[in-house]
Structure 1
Amino acid sequence: MKVAIVTESFLPRVNGVTGSVCRVLEHLAAHGHEALVVAPGPAPSSYAGARVAPVRGMALPCYPTFAVGVPTRRVTAILRDFGPDVVHLASPLVLGASGLAAANRLGVPAAAVFQTDVAGFARRYGLRGADPIIWWWLRRLHGRAALTLAPSTPVLAELERRGVPRLARWGRGVDRARFHPSHRSAEVRARLAPDGVALVGYVGRLAAEKRPGLLTRLVGIPGARLVVVGDGPEEGRLRRLMPDAVFTGFRTGTELSELVASLDVFVHTGADDTFCQAVQEGLASGVPVVAAAAGGPLDLVRPGVNGLLYAPDDGGELRAAVATLVDDVRTRRRMAVQAAESVRGRDWETVCGELMGHYRDLVHGAADRPAESAA
């Protein structure tokens, strides 16, 4: 099969969209399929054997480190030359609209992967009241795709409520070699908590859409030390507000694997996550998770089994949930075992196999094709 992936974000920018696209490309290469990537530049010339065709990118004014591709009809020429069987639109918004228009012009089915809560993102950056026009655009965009794939049941329900047609669920995988309890490190724990206190950790971007300011509600919990893994525009302010917390900066590879597995409690503050890969990686590492009861974490966290949920805007409830796990070592250890068990069967090989099934259905006409072209 020949698969063209048009993505709003790609390397060297690291985020959930980029990560899932990379895993899909690796799967396609491993199984003998041919792939092409259209992404905002700058970008590498290839990845996992797939050629990357860069288009002009534009940084968002409110988030300079995040760029989106500028719409261009050149995408049609790129796809025509490649001749794909299916077009994969990764979190389509701007460049994805060009990819969808190109697919429809060429008569190629397109699968649109809904991955970013754009309306929630806009609200976090002060664009209040923009929900109606954002959802009008998303409904128009996804309504012209042959299939929209939602990452979690709450998002699937929201898309149905918003009138988006032709929906299916496609979750995200986790690398169970990279994120596993075996990476728990006595050395890391001794360095971060020489006095033996519980390590309470956050892993992710330090940016408004992740609401990291809620971490300040965890300051001063007896018997706990806060570890913050990641960087972003909020880092300076958080360092001032939490002088006793450990800030590791952005980490990858073995270092990240050891940091996550060495935590005692994994905290997630975001409330607009359509899936939340960070939560799944924490669970795979054998760490009970405390997350907001909203979006993707509702599919991942089973309260009292592998973690706890708190009302999204209730910092007091967040603090109480974390303090409960810090105080109760026995419950924490029980949840740690069940956390790792809860992600069994969610490896990327399995999840990408499900995606290939959706591709095959599209290619063989199992999904209704939209008659109208996206302009």
Structure 2
Amino acid sequence: MRLAIATDAWAPQVNGVVRSLTETAAALAGLGVSAQFVTPEGLPTWPLPTYPDIRLAIGAGPAIAARLDAMSPQALHIATEGPVGHAARRWALARGLPFTTSYHTRYPEYVRARAPIPEALTYAWLRRFHGAATRTLVPTETMRRELAGWGFANLAIWSRGVDTTLFRPRERASLDLPGPVMLSVGRLAVEKNLEAFLSLDVPGTKVVVGDGPQRAELERRFPEAVFLGVKTGEDLAATYAAADVFVFTSRTDTYGNVMQEAMASGVPVAAFPVPGPLDVVTDPAVGVLDEDLAAAIAGALVLDRRACRAVAETRTWDAAARQFAAALAPFAAAARAA
């Protein structure tokens, strides 16, 4: 089956959305699904206000429609609610074709953190966007219940896996920093709540991997922390393995792939007991969830790293891809039903 995946999130962005889509697409090939991406690549883009690293292909509707026509897909998945996602949605609706969507980002909370816009208003907009889909895929049961409470319908689970070949324990891994080494990986933006970690008075070295609009401010306010910038591939994997504990501070993430990457590297997790961590750190042997983040870090530091690896090995991208494929709405099946 030829599948088109429309997404506003794409390289050079480094985030959980891009990782989830690319890993799932690779695993779908083994299920007989050939995934092609419709992205802003090659189109004029404009920076997102307050987050210039994210660029949006505003006004690209005709170009997106032309790309989809050329692909002649047999199914469509719309991964994001930006201009590319809206253009793909219009293309499908105009032709009477079914499609699926996915919910990756808690935009209402992100918008509210930047502007006095009521969350209910943004949720109403999102509900309308996803309401036309045959299925809206969410990463966890917690998110399914939460969105159902906001009136979303036709929700299905599409979980996340982890690359246990790349992310693995490495005996020689070292950052040559005073321990314990406490690591955070992710976008440096206000919704990630990094201050909760960086302001802690705890022994050891705080290490931050990633970039984003808040980086300069955080480096100025917390000079004792080590900011390593964006890392990928083997370099990122070695950094994970060199940490003593992984600290996840976000209260708004829908999942948190980075926690599973840390666990696969044999690193226990410290986080708040909120959606995301509650669904990823499901075994007390692999992490500690506590509103007192310092206590969570102290508790995680004494956990068995082998247990973290063992749990991560049960979470595969193949399993996630099967969930994804099961929710698709092939055009031919829809035509037969009609």
* TM-score, normalisation: structure 1: 0.83
Match in the other structure for 1:51: none
Match in the other structure for 2:93: 104
Once residues 332 and 288 of structure 2 are traced to their aligned partners in structure 1, the CA distance between those partners, rounded to angstroms, is: 42
Once residues 362 and 264 of structure 1 are traced to their aligned partners in structure 2, the CA distance between those partners, rounded to angstroms, is: 49
From 202, 224, 237, the equivalent of 2:184 is: 202
SS at match of 2:263: helix
Once residues 264 and 234 of structure 2 are traced to their aligned partners in structure 1, the CA distance between those partners, rounded to angstroms, is: 15
Match in the other structure for 1:76: 65
Judged with a 3 Å threshold, the aligned counterparts in structure 2 of structure 1 residues 351 and 176 are, in CA distance, closer, same or farther, namely: same
Once residues 236 and 150 of structure 2 are traced to their aligned partners in structure 1, the CA distance between those partners, rounded to angstroms, is: 38
Amino acid at match of 2:52: P
Amino acid at match of 2:3: V
For residues 16-54 of structure 1, the C-alpha deviation after alignment (integer angstroms, 9 at most, x for no partner) is: 1111222233234555543332212xx3xxxxxxxxxx4
SS at match of 2:288: strand
From 173, 182, 192, the equivalent of 2:177 is: 192
Q: Is the 8 A contact 2:188 2:212 kept in 1?
A: yes
Judged with a 3 Å threshold, the aligned counterparts in structure 2 of structure 1 residues 24 and 362 are, in CA distance, closer, same or farther, namely: farther
Match in the other structure for 1:265: 245
Amino acid at match of 1:353: R
For residues 299-340 of structure 1, the C-alpha deviation after alignment (integer angstroms, 9 at most, x for no partner) is: 1113632111123xxxxx1122223444xxxx32x2x22222
Once residues 95 and 133 of structure 1 are traced to their aligned partners in structure 2, the CA distance between those partners, rounded to angstroms, is: 22
Match in the other structure for 1:48: none
How far residue 360 of structure 1 moved from its aligned partner, in angstroms, is 6.2
Match in the other structure for 1:49: none
From 23, 32, 49, the equivalent of 1:61 is: 49
Once residues 319 and 147 of structure 2 are traced to their aligned partners in structure 1, the CA distance between those partners, rounded to angstroms, is: 25
How far residue 353 of structure 1 moved from its aligned partner, in angstroms, is 2.5
Once residues 339 and 361 of structure 1 are traced to their aligned partners in structure 2, the CA distance between those partners, rounded to angstroms, is: 38
Q: Tell me whether 1:226 sits opposite 2:231 in the alignment.
A: no
Amino acid at match of 2:279: D
Once residues 169 and 14 of structure 1 are traced to their aligned partners in structure 2, the CA distance between those partners, rounded to angstroms, is: 23
Q: Is the 8 A contact 2:196 2:249 kept in 1?
A: yes
Judged with a 3 Å threshold, the aligned counterparts in structure 2 of structure 1 residues 349 and 35 are, in CA distance, closer, same or farther, namely: same
How far residue 225 of structure 1 moved from its aligned partner, in angstroms, is 1.6
From 335, 343, 347, the equivalent of 2:316 is: 347
SS at match of 1:173: coil
Amino acid at match of 1:274: T
SS at match of 1:163: coil
How far residue 159 of structure 1 moved from its aligned partner, in angstroms, is 1.3
Match in the other structure for 2:78: 89
Amino acid at match of 1:18: V
Q: Tell me whether 1:320 sits opposite 2:295 in the alignment.
A: yes
Q: Tell me whether 1:241 sits opposite 2:216 in the alignment.
A: no
Match in the other structure for 1:287: 267
Q: Is the 8 A contact 2:24 2:318 kept in 1?
A: no
Judged with a 3 Å threshold, the aligned counterparts in structure 2 of structure 1 residues 111 and 360 are, in CA distance, closer, same or farther, namely: closer
Q: Name stretches of at least 5 consecutive residues in structure 2 with no aligned partner.
A: none
Once residues 225 and 348 of structure 1 are traced to their aligned partners in structure 2, the CA distance between those partners, rounded to angstroms, is: 32
Amino acid at match of 1:167: L
Match in the other structure for 1:35: 35
Amino acid at match of 2:285: V
Once residues 288 and 67 of structure 2 are traced to their aligned partners in structure 1, the CA distance between those partners, rounded to angstroms, is: 47
Judged with a 3 Å threshold, the aligned counterparts in structure 2 of structure 1 residues 259 and 11 are, in CA distance, closer, same or farther, namely: same
Q: Is the 8 A contact 1:76 1:99 kept in 2?
A: yes
Q: Is the 8 A contact 1:73 1:102 kept in 2?
A: no
* TM-score, normalisation: structure 2: 0.91
Q: Name stretches of at least 5 consecutive residues in structure 1 with no aligned partner.
A: 44-53, 312-316, 370-375
Q: Is the 8 A contact 2:181 2:244 kept in 1?
A: yes
Match in the other structure for 1:251: 231
How far residue 237 of structure 1 moved from its aligned partner, in angstroms, is 2.5
Amino acid at match of 1:203: V
Once residues 172 and 303 of structure 1 are traced to their aligned partners in structure 2, the CA distance between those partners, rounded to angstroms, is: 16
Once residues 3 and 96 of structure 1 are traced to their aligned partners in structure 2, the CA distance between those partners, rounded to angstroms, is: 15
Q: Is the 8 A contact 1:146 1:362 kept in 2?
A: no
Identity of aligned residues (%): 33
Q: What count of residue pairs does the alignment treat as equivalent?
A: 336
Judged with a 3 Å threshold, the aligned counterparts in structure 2 of structure 1 residues 115 and 233 are, in CA distance, closer, same or farther, namely: same
For residues 73-111 of structure 1, the C-alpha deviation after alignment (integer angstroms, 9 at most, x for no partner) is: 443332223221111111224321221121122233211
Amino acid at match of 1:24: T
